[in-house]
Every structure is written in C-alpha cells, then in structure tokens.
Amino acid sequence: MNLKYIRTRNKKALVVVAHPDDEAYGMGGTLHKLLQIGFIVRVLVCYSSCPLDMDRGVERMERYYGYHKQVCYSPREFWTYVPDQLQLSALNHSSRDENPTRVFQLEPEIRKTVHEVNPLLVFTHSSCDLDEEHQVVADAVRTALRPQNFLTRSKVPDILTFHVPGCTVGRPFSPSVFVALDENNVNVKLKAALRYGERTESHPCSSRSLKSSASHYGVLMGSAYAEAFELESLRFY
C-alpha cells in the first residue's frame, strides 16, 4: 500500500489503542509516514493505566504521559511534523484490575470520536492479540464502525488492524496490507518505542526485534522495510 498515492482531500486518520505505547510498537513507522505526507492523525488512548502492580503502574503512567505531552507539544524534538497534525485524546478508563471496561462502555466514546474526526483510515488492534484490553478495544472499534452508524456507506472508514509484538495468540496474524517504510520511518519508530523504556534484545518489542520485523515485512513487499496490517473494511471499492 503506497500511502503517497492516496488521492483525497480527506487526509485524516484515527488510531485507537488500548495503552499509550501500542501505537509505537504496532505502527510507529506508518504513523510517522502518515504525518510526512500530510495526514492529520488523532491517537485515541482508551486506558490510562497498565495491568501491573501499583508502583510500577504509576511510574509507567508518568513516563507515558510525559512522552505523549512531548510528542504532542514538542514536535520538532521528536516526530518532526506540523504541530497540529498529531492530536492526542485519552478516555482515561482504569485498567481491568480496577474497573473492567467492556465494549459497550467504550463503543459510544469511540463512535463519537470517529464522527468528530471523520477519518479516511482507522487503525486499531488485531483481534488475534492476547491482551484482553487490546481485544476489547478492537471489538469496540468494529462495533462503532457498523455501517448503520453512518448516513451513507461511503462514509464508513477503512479499518486496518495491527498486532503488538509478543501479544499474538490463537489465530495467526494474517496481514494483507503492507506499508513501505524507509530508514527514517523505522528510526523514528524505534525512538518512539524507546520512550517507553529499554527492552532486552530478546524481548519482542526491543529495538532489534522491531527492526527485524520491519525488515521481514519489507522483504514480503519488495521494499527495505514495511509494517503489516489486516484489512477489515466494512466497505469495498
């Protein structure tokens, strides 16, 4: 999929993730490329905390929000995009350990954001992810994008789902869309991932693993690097 050749005035994308790190691990290179070619991207984070022990959870939350504040308000230092191009919204629901938030609670808020942004593309988690909150968010996005929620079928945005490395279980991740990335896109993805903390080399979200994955998907589509997505569109061209 060559994003540069999308000919439309509606260069808007919505990224709906469970936690503030999923967008970097799952599609950081594509996010950077979208910004490069002039897309306005809204990142919607549904959960404010992580299912860890309280001390580590608070520590990581502080790091997460510090990162997002820097990304959103200090663009030249990190993403290098026009300031208004990348927007952040957070629903601030608690993690499942404190207050389980199910599909029916998230869906109205996601639907409201979809109508507010009016995106051409919506990115979210693949249903093959193991993480329970990833699954809940993925189901809520699909529910929010039912055709009956739109005035016309042509208004329904395409859904592209990604997997977060190390979270896949059950059915295999089966991508049908590949977004070609260059060295700069990949380097920005790795820098974004590092904002959430160092990983050991063997970790699926380490810099080494993420770059290896991008190289693997690049080979499949004939480019240096790529990120992969499952297409779960509710409309067809």
Domain boundaries, the chain: 3-231
Percent of the chain with pLDDT over 90: 26
- The candidate with the shortest Cα–Cα distance to 154, out of 1, 8, 2, is 8
Mean pLDDT over 86-101 rounds to: 61
Q: What is the pLDDT of residue 72?
A: 41
Alpha helical stretches, state H, 42-174 = 54-73, 103-117, 132-144
Which has the closest alpha carbon to 45: 173, 158, 134, 156? 134
Q: Is the pLDDT of residue 58 over 70?
A: no
Confidence of residue 237 (pLDDT cuts 50, 70, 90): very low
Could you tell me the pTM of the whole model?
Answer: 0.80
What integer pLDDT is reported at residue 188 of this predicted model?
86
Q: What CATH number matches the domain at 3-231, 3.40.50.1970, 3.40.50.300, 3.40.50.10320, 3.30.1360.170?
A: 3.40.50.10320
pLDDT at position 180, please? 95
Contacts of 92 (CB under 8 A, 6+ apart): 48
β-bridge pairing 177-181 and 86-93: unpaired
H helix or E strand, kind and range, residue 92: strand 86-93
Reported confidence tier of residue 172, pLDDT bands at 50, 70, 90: confident
- The residues, any chain, with a CB within 8 Å of residue 27's CB and separated by 6 or more, are 15, 123, 162, 227, 229
